[in-house]
Amino acid sequence: MLEIEKKYLVKFLPGLDEKKKVEVSQGYINMSPEVRIRMMDDECFLTSKGDGSLIREESETPISLDGFKILYGMIKGNLIEKTRIYVPISECYIAELDIYHGALEGLMTVEVEFPDKESVANFIPPIWFGDDITEDKRFKNKNLAMFSSNLDELLQVEQKKKTLE
């Protein structure tokens, strides 16, 4: 299946009352090609993703909790833990707001999936969306799983880029 998705930092949180949310734990078994395991509340998945940023191939298969536990021993880097909140932003789109925990505490990103490239070109992000980081490889989850530095440094690089523009 082809995935077309944009990713942004978050400037501020919108109203989140009564929004659907799930707890997510995911780890990476392989980086290239990208293969990950993910638990969303009590559902588990094995996912492979192709190269790319905006557009890439994605295949997701449900797996058992036992399968997740077996594969968990094979992850590289850190387990990513986050709360995902589904925020409707129009009649057509639902933003997936990720609030990270643990070593990535303080990082918030939001993703929006699109049916085609034309929809991407016509999309106007809500005011609570921050910088577009779709093409910034540092913010790919597989790279965040390998992150072992100070999160403030990662976020300050974005601020420095803004002041230079």
Q: Which residues are catalytic?
A: 28
Phi and psi at residue 54, to the nearest 5°? -70, -45
Residue with tokens 């880097």: 77
140 to each of 28, 35, 47, 80, 134, how far by Cα in Å?
A: 12, 13, 15, 12, 8
Burial 15-51 (b: 16+ CB within 10 A, else e): eeeeeeeeebbbbbbeeeebbbbbbeeeebbbbebee
